Amino acid sequence: MVDVWLPYGQTETCLRVQARNLVGTIEPKQKLNVSNAESEIERALKQPVDSKRLGEIAKCGDKVAIVVEDFEFWPFHVAVRAILDELRGAGVNDEDIRIIFGYDARGPISEQEILKRLGGDTTERIKFVFHNPKTTDLAYIGTTTHGTKIQISRLFADATVKVLVERLGFHCYAGYRGGGEGVLPGVADEGTIKASHTMILNPNAKVGVLEGNPIHNEIMEAAELAKVDFALNVSLDEKCNVVRAFAGSLKQCFLEGVRFVDGAYRITIDRKADVVVVSPGGHPWDSNLFQACMAIENAIEAVKRGGVLILVAECIGGYGNKVFYDWMSKLKELKAVEREIKRNFTLGGHMAYYLLNALQKAQIILVSAIPDYYAVNVFRFKTARTANEALKEALKITGENAKVWVIPYGEHTLPEVKASE
């Protein structure tokens, strides 16, 4: 018997697997977190990729807009403070700087949290705003190759220096987080988001894929139309520690960051298994079901078709996104979700599409704090009280000789099979 500890909320749970069943664990290749987040971000800003330093781009009199994207899980305040230091060193006045917190399907960050993280000394001098995709104060900046008319926040469009601050990582339809997400969806209007995101139905719009990915291409085109001047992308480990930072030109620093993410977190495996047990990585990656489902999307390719995936995720915050809940409640089949995406795409609904896709490939057993009524009747999972009970049920389905992979940090781990079976 082999004991494997899986993160679960703020604690861990022990999974016991017979040695004859266990293929192994799939984990990030190396622990790379830096000892000091501030120094790593400062290093990146001083050594920008394919760009002048931000302090050489901006000057006194410039209107600077800084978009902070995907802010929930990482110390964005460290990055913002470092950027503000660069701007002040260039002579940019505080009253000419705006921090824009981009639109996020997981919901806005609270003002209290911003004050806590940035500190009163910063928020008293630098104004910040939350982007609302329903705003009417918009600027049309051009049309993409796909034909999407891009409208974004006028505050951002009118800035003379535009900066994006984002988290790097895997993304279920854009391939990777970061890049131009601060523009689309970050400061885009609702119509732009809907028009561009219908392309999630394209088979190349998937995690870990950039080449031929129409969503990635759309996002980067939108950022180019917005004329982004400088970007800072930050990679985190499973504990939300800063691992590496990349700054400079939007495209090149993003691509360098993607190479790093692939090198550390894209893991080649020699075969699929009958059963895959995955934890998103504990808090905050399993704070709610909407967030935890990213681990399903990462892990599903490691499961044989017709096998079982066990998701061990506390989900103390419930389902986490109302659109996700509504689509799963009302749209009973994958085809119905696809029709709704074409007709009236709304961020949040995409997770219903990916979950129903996964459920066509494998049965999914959920170990969480979510009541069975919702887990079973709305989200179509089987449920178990513990990871060990879930594994016992999975082996009843797949057979006592079934092979098992375990993925302790599913948010940060992308298994890739050498050859298809």
Q: Do residues 63 and 114 both lie within one domain?
A: yes
The first and second tokens of residue 14, run together, are: 């022990």
CB 46 within 8 A of CB 141: no
Residue 253 in domain: no
End residue of a domain, out of 236, 258, 281: 236
SS3 (DSSP) at 77: helix
- Tracing tokens 């893991």 back to the chain, one arrives at 267
Residue 322 in domain: yes
Distance, in Å, from the CA atom of 185 to the CA atom of 175, rounded to the nearest integer, reads 15
The first and second tokens of residue 301, run together, are: 């390719």
pLDDT for 88 equals 94
Q: Do residues 11 and 48 both lie within one domain?
A: no
Dihedral of the alpha carbons of 315, 368, 26, 298, in degrees to the nearest 10: -60
pLDDT at 272 over 60: yes
C-alpha distances out from residue 269 to 351, 407, 412, Å: 26, 12, 15
Q: Do residues 275 and 175 both lie within one domain?
A: no
Q: Do residues 326 and 280 both lie within one domain?
A: yes
CB 151 within 8 A of CB 192: yes
Instruction: Give 273's DSSP letter.
Output: E
Q: Do residues 21 and 42 both lie within one domain?
A: no
Q: How many domains does the chain have?
A: 2
Dihedral of the alpha carbons of 285, 287, 289, 290, in degrees to the nearest 10: -70
Distance, in Å, from the CA atom of 162 to the CA atom of 222, rounded to the nearest integer, reads 13
Residue 355 in domain: yes
Q: What percent of the chain has pLDDT over 70?
A: 97
Residue 250 in domain: no
Q: Do residues 49 and 81 both lie within one domain?
A: yes
Beta strand ranges found along 59-106 (DSSP E): 64-68, 97-101
* Tens-digit pLDDT profile for residues 96-105: 999 999 987 7
Q: Do residues 205 and 270 both lie within one domain?
A: no
Q: What is the mean pLDDT of residues 33-37?
A: 75
Residue 138 in domain: yes
pLDDT at 419 over 80: no
Identify residue 215 by its one-letter amino acid code.
Answer: I
- Tracing tokens 């009843």 back to the chain, one arrives at 396
- Tell me the angle at which helices 214-226 and 250-265 cross, rounded to the nearest 10 degrees: 150
Residue 202 in domain: yes
Q: Do residues 145 and 288 both lie within one domain?
A: no
The separation between the first and the last C-alpha atoms of the chain, rounded to the nearest angstrom, is 28
Phi, psi of 236 (to 5 degrees): -115, 160
Q: What percent of the chain has pLDDT over 90?
A: 85
SS3 (DSSP) at 225: helix
Q: Do residues 281 and 141 both lie within one domain?
A: no
The CATH number that applies at residue 354 is 3.90.226.30
Distance, in Å, from the CA atom of 273 to the CA atom of 31, rounded to the nearest integer, reads 26
* Tens-digit pLDDT profile for residues 296-334: 999 999 999 999 999 999 999 999 999 999 999 999 899
pLDDT band at 75 (very low <50, low <70, confident <90, very high): confident
∠ CA 296-356-211, nearest 5°, is 65
C-alpha distances out from residue 335 to 107, 338, 352, 360, 365, Å: 27, 5, 11, 12, 23
Distance, in Å, from the CA atom of 413 to the CA atom of 169, rounded to the nearest integer, reads 10
Which candidate, 416, 421, 419, places its Cα nearest to that of 208? 416
Q: Do residues 283 and 352 both lie within one domain?
A: yes
The CATH number that applies at residue 84 is 3.40.50.11440
Domain containing residue 334: 2-28+266-417
* Tens-digit pLDDT profile for residues 203-261: 999 999 999 999 999 999 999 999 999 999 999 988 888 999 999 999 999 999 999 99
Q: Do residues 129 and 73 both lie within one domain?
A: yes
The first and second tokens of residue 302, run together, are: 């490691």
pLDDT for 94 equals 95
The first and second tokens of residue 87, run together, are: 């701007």
The first and second tokens of residue 346, run together, are: 């709304």
Q: What is the mean pLDDT of residues 13-32?
A: 92
* Tens-digit pLDDT profile for residues 238-254: 888 899 999 999 999 99
Q: Do residues 211 and 158 both lie within one domain?
A: yes
Residue 242 in domain: no
Distance, in Å, from the CA atom of 106 to the CA atom of 322, rounded to the nearest integer, reads 10
Distance, in Å, from the CA atom of 226 to the CA atom of 221, rounded to the nearest integer, reads 9
Residue 218 in domain: yes
